[in-house]
Amino acid sequence: MSSTPVTAAKAASGVASGRLDADAYAENFSDLHPLFEPHEALVEADRCYFCYDAPCVQACPTGIDIPMFIRQIATGNTLGSAETIFDANILGGMCARVCPTETLCEQACVRHEAEEKPVRIGRLQRYATDHAIREDVQFYERKDPTGKHVAVVGAGPAGLACAHALAREGHAVTLYDAKKKLGGLNEYGIAAYKTVDDFAQKEVDYILAIGGIELKAGVALGRDIHLATLQDDFDAVFLSLGMGGANDLDIKDADLGGVHDAIDFIADIRQAPDLSALPVGRSVVVIGGGMTAIDIASQVKRLGAEDVTIVYRRGAPDMKASEFEQHLAQTTGVRIKHWAIPKEIIGEGGRVRSIVFDYVAPDAGGALTPTGESFTLAADQVFKAIGQNFLEDALGSAGVALKRGRIAVDADRRTNLETVWAGGDCIEDGLDLTVAAVEDGKIAARAINAHLASGG
């Protein structure tokens, strides 16, 4: 990864833009896993044992028939392979890019038993789905109109999957989203090098091509529309609201200049027409241990930050980011420190200059207790990546039941309200995975369709 500063003058300031030359930005944000060439795909597909009782399928939250789609690639039927994938996961293209396959399907690959590398299922899935999207081959047609109308609030993975499935059944769908661009975290919350060439929007366009879905972008629940009104105006409602709030650091001066919510800066990177215009510090500290922490740390390093450190309160095995993602960050030059919590932010002139951490250790009950030792890291920028929270105010007074701060649902993703379903990160036990959100949307769509078919 190239990281040569353009000039010493630019690097001398604490936070600056344009630290790298154009070639370095292009290299640093190029495709993390380039698309297989046809020969590469055939060779990799030939490594699959095509297991009858395939553990990889059991490990996939959407239940894609993995042996089938790989066999179809191996026999030259790439479009058939894409259809097999889309039958289970209409967002299979994005999932091929961002799913932690190393802990899901590929972890379950039986080649591990022979101490061999698993079949690269994710890259084969991308090979097939990219082909179908690139050629704009549509596999599904809408059924005859049912006269039923469903509101889907939130155009992230769960909302898109639900809207597509309902449109296929002939229901009219109105899809609302607070942002101007659809896609949710696929568009705004994933590292840019994982989804290049505006793929998130290409996938959205492909999904919406089914027809029967009216778009209402820039419309927020609780501000522009209200759940009680949607219940009156539609036959059913699906909520895919995501996690709109970021958790705060409970320490002094956490609002100094240079202290950012990581998820907001990731969105800035994804939407930036010119990466060289983004300001980045020389010394950057990221607080957290999940995928957001890894994505922001890796990206600011690729933007030209000289020293980037992730600090996490527990050990490496406890980090929500997979081992692969941790190693990915480290290979770009990111340091990861464990067993420490922020104690104090030190500023000067209204901006952060350093941050003090206490070392911690678990007590007999597992709670973290300061050891009495501390350390200080210089920081021009600090990124908070300590989790997000659900903004329940958007629900208004409709009476949606919550559990542990998120929307309570049953196995069909139905809320306590008869005509309201929910899925994705906003529901209890949401897994913060694109593929899990897609499955929520599928499950809810089946339940909504059954409800409408029965006269609901």
CATH code (residue 45): 1.10.1060.10
* Three-state DSSP class for residue 445: helix
Q: Is the same domain home to 362 and 283?
A: yes
Please give the residue range of the domain that contains residue 255.
247-384
Nearest Cα neighbor of 100 from 86, 81, 121, 115 is 121
Lowest mean pLDDT among 9-13, 107-111, 246-250: 9-13
Q: Which residue has the higher pLDDT, 387 or 338?
A: 338
Which whole number is the average pLDDT over 166-183? 97
pLDDT at res. 177:
97
Q: Is the same domain home to 199 and 210?
A: yes
Q: Is the same domain home to 255 and 279?
A: yes
Q: Is the same domain home to 158 and 118?
A: no
In a domain, 414, yes or no: yes
Q: Is the same domain home to 277 and 306?
A: yes
Q: Is the pLDDT of residue 240 over 60?
A: yes
Which whole number is the average pLDDT over 71-80? 98
Q: Is the same domain home to 292 and 317?
A: yes
> Given phi > 0 = left and psi -120 to 50 = alpha, else beta, which region is 240?
beta
Q: Is the same domain home to 205 and 235?
A: yes
In a domain, 3, yes or no: no
Q: Is the pLDDT of residue 12 over 80?
A: no
Number of domains in the chain: 3
pLDDT at res. 398:
87
Q: Is the same domain home to 372 and 254?
A: yes
| pLDDT tens profile 283-299 | 999 999 999 999 999 99
This prediction's pTM? 0.93
Question: Helix 66-74 to helix 78-88 angle, to the nearest 10 degrees?
Answer: 170
Lowest mean pLDDT among 1-10, 32-41, 342-351: 1-10
Question: Helix 121-135 to helix 78-88 angle, to the nearest 10 degrees?
Answer: 100
Domain boundary among 135, 160, 177: 135
State the CATH number of the domain containing residue 346: 3.50.50.60
Domain boundary among 365, 384, 403: 384
Q: Is the same domain home to 346 and 442?
A: no
Domain boundary among 332, 359, 384: 384
In a domain, 14, yes or no: no
> What sign does the CA torsion over 99, 100, 105, 111 have?
positive
Q: Is the same domain home to 254 and 378?
A: yes
